[in-house]
Structure formats: structure tokens, C-alpha cells
Amino acid sequence: MNNLFENWRQYLTENSENAPKGAYSHFVIDAILSYDEDARLYKDIFNQIRAIEGVTIISVAERSQKSGIDQETVRLDLKYIPKRKGIPLEQHGAILKRLILNIPGVDKIKFVSSKKT
């Protein structure tokens, strides 16, 4: 048991040294999301974003602000692991955007930056 605690990092699959060959890294995406004021951000929108394959964490970087008539904007940090094999990494961002835009109540999303971790 002591060996497990001393060498715990080798058992993590997200550790790049032990990840399966061809596995993708985590990406942290800074995004601005505009949504309908009537939509329930945490209960409806965030839960559906978390349900997207590859999204592991979603957190609020800046609180919601009114951005227009019946519209609010929030700044998010998304942690994402591309899961679909055979698709170039550049296309994963476009796929993720399209999936988020299909969520009821979401008006638009802009990826401000992304970095590989």
C-alpha cells in the first residue's frame, strides 16, 4: 500500500508519460458564452455542456453580466480532452462550439483562447 502512495502519479492515465500512445492532452479553453436571460445557466446549460464527450470541467471565470435585452454573458473556463479519433485537433474546437450552440438557451459562444496542458 505504501508503494501506491509513494508512486501515485504513475497510475494516473492523464499523466503524459503513462498515457496510451496517440492519446490527446487536456486543453483549457477560455470562452465567452451569451445565453437567454430566462435560461437556467447552472442547471440547464452547464449540465448539458458537461454532458458533451470530452468536457471534464466547466467553471465560471467571470460572473454573468447583462449584455442586451433578455441576454446575459458569462466567461467560462472549459477543460476538454478530445476523444474522437481520426479527426485533426484543429477541428475539435469547431465541433465543440457547434455542440454548445445546439444547447437550448445558448445564443453564441466565442473561444477567446485555448492552451494545451
Indicate if the pLDDT at residue 29 is higher than 80: yes
Indicate if the pLDDT at residue 23 is higher than 60: no
Q: Where are the beta strands (DSSP E) in 1-117?
A: 27-36, 55-68, 71-80, 106-116
Q: What is the mean pLDDT of residues 86-93?
A: 78
Indicate if the pLDDT at residue 88 is higher than 90: no
Number of Cα atoms under 13 Å in the Cβ half of residue 3:
0
Helix, strand, coil % over all residues of the chain, rounded to 5: 25, 40, 35
- C-alpha pair distances (Å), 9 with each of 18, 28, 43, 80: 9, 21, 34, 20
Average pLDDT of the chain, as a whole number:
80
Q: What is the mean pLDDT of residues 21-50?
A: 85
The pLDDT value recorded for residue 49 is 93
- Domains of the chain plus CATH, in order, are 22-116 (3.30.70.60)
| pLDDT confidence bin for 114, thresholds 50/70/90 | confident
Q: What is the mean pLDDT of residues 72-96?
A: 84
| pLDDT confidence bin for 117, thresholds 50/70/90 | confident
The pLDDT value recorded for residue 2 is 53
CA triple 90-96-101, angle to 5 deg? 135
